[in-house]
Amino acid sequence: MTPRFLRLAALLLALAWGFAPHPALSAKDELVIGMTQYPATLHPNIESMLAKTLVVSATRRPFTAYDANWQLGCMLCTNLPTIENGLAKLEDMPSGKKGIAVTYTIQPGATWGDGTPVSTRDVMFTWEVGRHPQSGVAAAEFYRRAYKLDVKDARTFTLHFDKVTYEYSAINDFQVLPAHIEAVHFAEPMEYRNRTRFDADPTNPGLYFGPYRIVEAKPGSHIALEPNPTWYGEKPKFKRIVFRAVENTAALEANLLSGAIDYIAGELGLTLDQGIAFEKRHADKFQVIFKPGLIYEHIDLNLDNPVLKNLRLRRALLMALDRQAISEKLFGGKQPVAITSVSPLDWVYDADLRPVPFDPKAAGQIFDEEGWRIGPGGIRQNAAGEKLSLEFMTTAGNRSRETVQQVLQAQWRQVGVDIRIRNEPARVFFGETVTKRRFSAMAMFAWVSSPENLPRSTLHSQEIPTAQNNYAGQNYTGYRNDQMDELIEAIEVELDRDKRGLLWRRLQALYLADLPVLPLYFRADVFVMPKWLKGVTPTGHQNVSTLWIEYWHAE
Amino acid sequence: MTRYIVDRIVQSLAVLLVMSFVIYGLIGLMPGDPVDLMISADPKVTAEDAARLKALYGLDRPLLTRYGNWLKAALGGEFGYSRLYAKPALVALGPALVSTTILVGISFVLSLLIALPAGVWVATRPDGPADRTVNLACFAGVSMPPFWLAILLILTFAVGLRWLPAGGVPTRSDVGLGEQLRHMVLPVATLTLLQIGGYLRFMRAAMIETLRQDYIRTAQAKGAGPARVLLKHALRNALNPVVTVVALGFGGLFSGALITETMFAWPGMGKLILDSIMGNDFNLALVALLFATLLVLVGNLLADLAYAWLDPRVSFTEREGGP
């Protein structure tokens, strides 16, 4: 045989091996999860991003998290600190103010994937990274409040906070970093965000201590995970988990139908209308779970607008909307109408509150009384002949929102209010228009929050974005009410649950009375999964379902 | 010839310099900056955080100063870090470039291999049944929206027949070449089908025009066979306008396969450019767009050189010596 023949034979063999069925894992050993975004970074503490949270939550655990029943509990810690169990203690700070010292103990078996135990050395390192102004950690407020860290032993530490809040034991965003790997790259803090191994070497097993660890990351395409042998908890059932990013939801659906992916993550998958249509067509093969949660769809009103600063007119605008009909007709009744920003699933929700009723006749009467009477063409105008015309903005290209927007426009038109739609791409809408309060009247979008989430950033008067505060804060409406400010301050420091509940009721009543925002509904996430997949429990809040991925299994 | 190429390279560098300024300026003028986006996504980012982050990312400095710093570093071979990928911009660009080169390269070659012979073939049968059928198919290909064609192919071959995978990249790195090729079939087919129509119509039109020329009749009168007339006399001349279109299109393909890449989750240049612009990743967007510009310039240069090869009347000597 000549060398040429041998080379040809080798080539043919290689090709045949390539085309032959590969000795892959059986379908039930591998779970391919589809989502619409690829994480920009895998570092748990730099930037907040849902795609990252979904992946990272399978590979590590926060100290504390809210579970599917919206109860705060320990994950990486052994006991949730409370004042009652003595792990949280009120203390006097050097400034004379009251602070709180909260003690946590790391789970005994917690070990990084390379065999190094998770220890207080890691906790100290994480705290130092978070506190360093050049580390690139975006939201550093937690680290400013946690002004001191005492290490008791290799597994126990105490955080000292400069303010006593009802969330004193919740350190959900304090994600421990592996000091034995990351410390050397933090030598130059300014370069840390560029040198962190989470992005430079994401398959390093020492970065993970959760049920799975990342074994492959193909930027823009997929991230593959396999069980972490050092995981101390329930043994994960799948031998391989793949997070696959398919940005286009139509293609995502087609991938599911073709078997290229098994499950579409509800947190970052199909829109509700797509989910409803999918369920109608494929309910025989897939289970579709609609989980309403803490995604609050609403219309922010610019309260500097001469029309919208009038409370009666704001109320009339809401009375002209049949939100129940929108929820039923467009979303199959799967998105509950919002009365305020507090979800009906949250324990602080006031069930006695009644929504502003749909009453176009009464709305018209209010407009008349406020001097806006029906004029030529059926549009209301005031004594000066000015038309009652408002600009209404939302994210261009979001089909679901744009449909709702058109229905709202038609309903307001019925009571003589002219609505001018001006939508913008999300990049511009959120990057400039909303954040810098450059919408003239109404902006429709959603907030995602956690259980018992205090609306400080959206309702406190100190949180109105201005050039002076670098446009930080999310009180985009420009709402100012001393009573609301006082309630927010009071709730934040009230440790007694019952008393706090009462304050929350007052806050909701004030919200409903003032209507700085027009509430629409609480959005539902759509989880589309094969019937054999069990154990997935949607939470409806920011602590995503993959935090319990070790319980997922095929049946 | 050499002088001409050197001139063109110098011109290209000047264009790249101007483009870098234009791109940097345009991205800088876009509403909002990375920190504004962070604030809108995370309620826990305070005013203090915003000021700190703007200083950290250099966003508190004027645009011109930032551009000056970038240019100085770029001339020293340092193109900065990608904020989105937390890697040097060139490193982040590399895998996307390889992915797109594979996808675009194969579809480009395939579309030319199909379009050019088919264009010549139907040009010899103008207005016949074959010509009409091919024309119809071309118009369908040209006018079909890429996302629709992609979904159609996915639904037919991945969902319906289950012959091919719907996604662009295998989710296991240890699969064989065959499996990798199977994943490429649909995205390559989509891009190829979209390109064939345009190239085929150009080739057909150019060939029909050439076949009407006097020298073709002369060649036929001199007794040259149909194949010789077609391939020796007509094709070379007809290729001139086609080369221009192909060369211009080649550069654009690298950044223009965005929809196909998105539909098939193919991590290529188009998606990278879009993500970097939308995510306000200055360094990565600049490098990626400059690279796309460079490819267009190279495409043009190659087209000019191809003219000389295809048509001996085209010469660069006049430029070299001057009038």
Cβ contact A254–B155 (<8 Å)? yes
**Nearest CB to A15 within list B52, B177, B275:** B177
Residues on chain B touching A260 (C-beta within 8 angstroms): 158, 165-167
Cβ contact A427–B278 (<8 Å)? yes
Percentage of residues of chain A with pLDDT beyond 90: 77
Task: Return the minimum-mean-pLDDT range out of A325-334, A531-540, B19-28.
Answer: B19-28
Cβ contact B31–A259 (<8 Å)? no
Q: Among A432, A427, A435, which Cα is nearest to A458's?
A: A435
Q: Please, are residues A139 and B45 in contact by the beta-carbon 8 Å criterion?
A: yes
Confidence band of A249 (pLDDT split at 50, 70, 90): confident
Kindly identify which residue of chain B lies nearest to residue A193, measuring between CA atoms.
Answer: B86
Cβ contact B151–A220 (<8 Å)? no
What is the structure's pLDDT at A176? 97
Residues on chain A touching B154 (C-beta within 8 angstroms): 251, 254-255, 258
Residues on chain B touching A196 (C-beta within 8 angstroms): 86
| B47 has a chain A CB within 8 A of its CB | yes
What is the structure's pLDDT at A110? 98
| B75 has a chain A CB within 8 A of its CB | no
A540 Rama class: left (phi>0) / alpha (psi -120 to 50) / beta: left
| B258 has a chain A CB within 8 A of its CB | no
Half-sphere exposure of A436 (CA within 13 A, CB side): 15
What is the structure's pLDDT at A131? 92
Q: Which of B29, B46, B83, B275 to mutate to test the interface with A (most CBs of A within 10 A)?
A: B46
Mean pLDDT for B25-47 is 78
What is the structure's pLDDT at A9? 53
- Amino acid making up residue B310: L
A-contacting residues in B 268-287 (Cβ below 8 Å): 268, 271-272, 275, 278-280
**What value does the CA radius of gyration of chain A take, rounded to a whole number of Å?**
26
Predicted confidence (pLDDT) per residue in A325-376, tens digit: 999 999 999 999 999 999 999 999 999 999 999 999 999 999 999 999 999 8
Predicted confidence (pLDDT) per residue in A452-462, tens digit: 999 998 999 99
Spatial separation of the C-alpha atoms in residues A263 and A253, rounded to whole Å: 10
Please list the alpha-helical segments (H only) found in A3-119.
3-19, 50-56
Confidence band of B270 (pLDDT split at 50, 70, 90): confident
Spatial separation of the C-alpha atoms in residues A128 and A45, rounded to whole Å: 12
Q: Among A209, A145, A153, A143, which Cα is nearest to A174's?
A: A143
Task: Return the minimum-mean-pLDDT range out of A70-79, A436-445, A543-552, B161-170.
Answer: B161-170
Confidence band of B323 (pLDDT split at 50, 70, 90): very low
Residue A402 has pLDDT above 90, yes or no: yes
Residue A311 has pLDDT above 50, yes or no: yes
Between B170 and B132, name the one with better pLDDT: B132
- Amino acid making up residue B46: T
Handedness of CA B180, B181, B186, B189 (dihedral sign): positive
- What interhelical angle do B235-256 and B177-211 show, nearest 10? 140
- Amino acid making up residue A125: F
The DSSP code for A473 is S
Which residues pair with residue B87 across a beta bridge?
B82
Between A12 and B303, name the one with better pLDDT: B303
Residue A504 has pLDDT above 60, yes or no: yes
* CA A513-A516-A521 angle, 5° bins: 90
Cβ contact B176–A41 (<8 Å)? no
Kindly identify which residue of chain A lies nearest to residue B166, measuring between CA atoms.
Answer: A255
Residue B147 has pLDDT above 70, yes or no: yes
Residues on chain B touching A259 (C-beta within 8 angstroms): 162
Spatial separation of the C-alpha atoms in residues B282 and B278, rounded to whole Å: 10
Residues on chain B touching A220 (C-beta within 8 angstroms): 96, 265, 267-268, 271-272, 275
* CA A336-A339-A343 angle, 5° bins: 60
**Nearest CB to A133 within list B43, B52, B179:** B52
Between A12 and A71, name the one with better pLDDT: A71
A-contacting residues in B 303-322 (Cβ below 8 Å): none
Spatial separation of the C-alpha atoms in residues B259 and B250, rounded to whole Å: 16
What is the structure's pLDDT at A494? 96
Spatial separation of the C-alpha atoms in residues A148 and A169, rounded to whole Å: 15
Which stretches does DSSP call E strand in A211-350? 212-218, 222-227, 240-245, 263-264, 286-301
Mean pLDDT for A289-314 is 95
Task: Return the minimum-mean-pLDDT range out of A431-445, A478-492, B165-179.
Answer: B165-179
Mean pLDDT of chain B: 85
Residues on chain B touching A32 (C-beta within 8 angstroms): 171
Mean pLDDT for A525-535 is 95
Cβ contact B96–A220 (<8 Å)? yes
Q: Residue A240 has which token pair?
A: 């391989």
Mean pLDDT for A289-305 is 94
Residues on chain A touching B44 (C-beta within 8 angstroms): 48, 138-139, 141-142, 173, 457
Kindly identify which residue of chain B lies nearest to residue A427, measuring between CA atoms.
Answer: B278
The DSSP code for A259 is T
Percentage of residues of chain A with pLDDT beyond 70: 95
Q: How many residues does chain B have?
A: 323
Q: A310-315 contacts: CB < 8 A, separation 24 or more?
A: A310/A370, A311/A514, A311/A515, A312/A366, A312/A369, A312/A370, A313/A366, A313/A367, A313/A370, A313/A372, A314/A515, A314/A518, A315/A356, A315/A366, A315/A515
Between B32 and A58, name the one with better pLDDT: A58
Q: Please, are residues B253 and B104 in contact by the beta-carbon 8 Å criterion?
A: yes
Query: From residue B69, how far is each of B20, B63, B282 by CA, in Å?
Result: 13, 10, 13
Between A448 and B101, name the one with better pLDDT: B101
Mean pLDDT for A145-174 is 95
Spatial separation of the C-alpha atoms in residues A372 and A368, rounded to whole Å: 5
- Structural domains in chain A, sorted by start: 294-523 (3.10.105.10)
**Nearest CB to B87 within list A199, A224, A457:** A199
Please list the alpha-helical segments (H only) found in A149-270.
179-182, 189-195, 197-200, 249-258
Most confident of A121-130, B26-35, B240-249: A121-130
| A64 has a chain B CB within 8 A of its CB | no
Cβ contact A133–B44 (<8 Å)? no
Q: Which of A42, A43, A47 to mutate to test the interface with B (most CBs of B within 10 A)?
A: A47
The secondary structure of A239-250, three-state, reads CEEEEEECCCHH
Q: Residue A190 has which token pair?
A: 């300014």
Between A154 and B228, name the one with better pLDDT: A154
Residue A301 has pLDDT above 80, yes or no: yes
Which residues pair with residue A92 across a beta bridge?
A98
Spatial separation of the C-alpha atoms in residues A127 and A106, rounded to whole Å: 15
B-contacting residues in A 316-335 (Cβ below 8 Å): none
What is the structure's pLDDT at A20? 44
What is the structure's pLDDT at A233? 96
Tell me which residue has tokens 């654009």: B252
| A244 has a chain B CB within 8 A of its CB | yes
What is the structure's pLDDT at B274? 82
Task: Looking at the complex, report in whole angstroms how far the Cα of residue A48 sits from the nearest Cα belonging to chain B.
Answer: 6
What is the structure's pLDDT at B314? 66
Cβ contact B32–A133 (<8 Å)? no
- Specify the 3-state DSSP secondary structure of A517: strand
Residue B129 has pLDDT above 70, yes or no: yes
Residue A507 has pLDDT above 60, yes or no: yes
Predicted confidence (pLDDT) per residue in A434-478, tens digit: 988 999 999 999 988 789 999 998 999 999 999 888 788 889 999
| B60 has a chain A CB within 8 A of its CB | no
Confidence band of A530 (pLDDT split at 50, 70, 90): very high
Cβ contact B53–A257 (<8 Å)? no
Residue B320 has pLDDT above 60, yes or no: no
A-contacting residues in B 136-175 (Cβ below 8 Å): 147, 150-151, 154-155, 158-159, 162, 165-169, 171-175
Q: CB neighbours (10 Å) of residue A146?
A: 18
Q: Residue A72 has which token pair?
A: 């705060």
Mean pLDDT for A127-154 is 89
Which residues pair with residue A34 across a beta bridge?
A244, A264
Confidence band of A8 (pLDDT split at 50, 70, 90): low
Spatial separation of the C-alpha atoms in residues A178 and A185, rounded to whole Å: 11
What is the structure's pLDDT at A4? 59
Cβ contact B179–A136 (<8 Å)? no
- Specify the 3-state DSSP secondary structure of A33: strand
Mean pLDDT for A168-185 is 96
Confidence band of B210 (pLDDT split at 50, 70, 90): very high
Between B173 and A15, name the one with better pLDDT: B173
Q: Show Cβ contacts of residue A416 under 8 Å, excluding neighbours closer than 6 positions.
A: A364, A367, A372, A374, A375, A378, A379, A380, A388
Residues on chain B touching A433 (C-beta within 8 angstroms): 31
Mean pLDDT of chain A: 91
| B42 has a chain A CB within 8 A of its CB | yes
- Give residue B293's Cα distance to chain centre: 10
Cβ contact A140–B52 (<8 Å)? yes
Cβ contact A22–B172 (<8 Å)? yes
Q: Among A499, A76, A517, A38, which Cα is nearest to A297's?
A: A517
Confidence band of A121 (pLDDT split at 50, 70, 90): very high
Confidence band of B255 (pLDDT split at 50, 70, 90): low
Confidence band of A24 (pLDDT split at 50, 70, 90): very low
B92-310 is a CATH 1.10.3720.10 domain: yes
Mean pLDDT for A508-519 is 97
The DSSP code for B1 is -
Tell me, what's the ipTM?
Answer: 0.80
Residues on chain A touching B275 (C-beta within 8 angstroms): 220
**Nearest CB to B175 within list A22, A141, A173:** A22
Confidence band of A13 (pLDDT split at 50, 70, 90): very low
B-contacting residues in A 424-483 (Cβ below 8 Å): 427-428, 430-436, 447, 449, 457-458, 465, 469-474
CB neighbour class for B86 (10 Å; exposed up to 12, middle 13-18, buried from 19)? buried
- Amino acid making up residue B20: S
What is the structure's pLDDT at B60? 86
Task: Looking at the complex, report in whole angstroms how far the Cα of residue B166 sits from the nearest Cα belonging to chain A.
Answer: 6
Please list the alpha-helical segments (H only) found in A150-283.
179-182, 189-195, 197-200, 249-258, 272-282
Between A426 and A183, name the one with better pLDDT: A183
Kindly identify which residue of chain A lies nearest to residue B51, measuring between CA atoms.
Answer: A470
- Domain-wise residue ranges, chain B: 2-89, 92-310
Query: What totals of helices (H) and strands (E) does chain A contain, helices first?
Result: 17, 20
What is the structure's pLDDT at B206? 92
Residue B103 has pLDDT above 80, yes or no: yes
| A230 has a chain B CB within 8 A of its CB | no
Confidence band of A178 (pLDDT split at 50, 70, 90): very high
Query: From residue B302, how far is each of A3, A39, B242, B248, B308 by CA, in Å?
Result: 38, 39, 13, 10, 10
Mean pLDDT for B239-245 is 82
- Specify the 3-state DSSP secondary structure of A146: strand
Residue B77 has pLDDT above 90, yes or no: no
A409 Rama class: left (phi>0) / alpha (psi -120 to 50) / beta: alpha
Q: Please, are residues B207 and B123 in contact by the beta-carbon 8 Å criterion?
A: yes
What is the structure's pLDDT at A190? 85
Spatial separation of the C-alpha atoms in residues A42 and A197, rounded to whole Å: 9
Confidence band of A3 (pLDDT split at 50, 70, 90): low
What is the structure's pLDDT at B4? 78
Confidence band of A292 (pLDDT split at 50, 70, 90): confident
Between B237 and A299, name the one with better pLDDT: A299
What is the structure's pLDDT at B127? 87
A-contacting residues in B 76-95 (Cβ below 8 Å): 81, 84-88, 92, 95
Residue A57 has pLDDT above 50, yes or no: yes
Residues on chain A touching B84 (C-beta within 8 angstroms): 40-41
What is the structure's pLDDT at A16? 44
Half-sphere exposure of A251 (CA within 13 A, CB side): 29
Confidence band of B247 (pLDDT split at 50, 70, 90): confident
